[in-house]
Amino acid sequence: GAVVSQHPSRVICKSGTSVKIECRSLDFQATTMFWYRQFPKQSLMLMATSNEGSKATYEQGVEKDKFLINHASLTLSTLTVTSAHPEDSSFYICSARLPRDRATEAFFGQGTRLTVV
């Protein structure tokens, strides 16, 4: 199957700083990537849909200025958590689906554990 690589896998940052998480599709071009957030013992919450070359589509309740998403190329999307606070600590996961084929499964990155201290 297709490979999605997410980096870093774990990051600890100080409150008030910004953190960037990268999501790369290694062997296919992803016009659309998805960013999820997962709280302990809970399901994945879709945060936003990242579209190559255009603005991301955010889900209701997700702060656009807090979680900046950039999808500058067909293989890379980034999520920047700005002015991070302890409540932003979570597990963030990206995924991508092959373009123009909604029937395929999504391919997931390995996730990023963010801890804000």
Partner 1 sequence: AQSVAQPEDQVNVAEGNPLTVKCTYSVSGNPYLFWYVQYPNRGLQFLLKYITGDNLVKGSYGFEAEFNKSQTSFHLKKPSALVSDSALYFCAVSSGGYNKLIFGAGTRLAVHP
> What does the binding site for partner 1 look like in residue numbers (CB under 8 A)?
1, 4, 6, 32, 34, 42-44, 46, 49, 57, 91, 93, 95, 97, 102-103, 105-111, 113
Distance (Å, whole) CA 90 – CA 37: 7
Q: Which is nearer to partner 1, 8 or 16 (CB)?
A: 8
Minimum distance from residue 19 beta carbon to partner 1 (Å):
17
C-alpha torsion angle, residues 98, 9, 90, 83 (rounded to 10):
-100
Based on CB atoms, which residue is closest to partner 1, 42 or 73?
A: 42
Looking up tokens 């391919």 gives 107
**Which two tokens mark 58?**
């955010």
Least distance in Å: CB of 63 to partner 1? 19
Tokens linked to 64:
């656009």
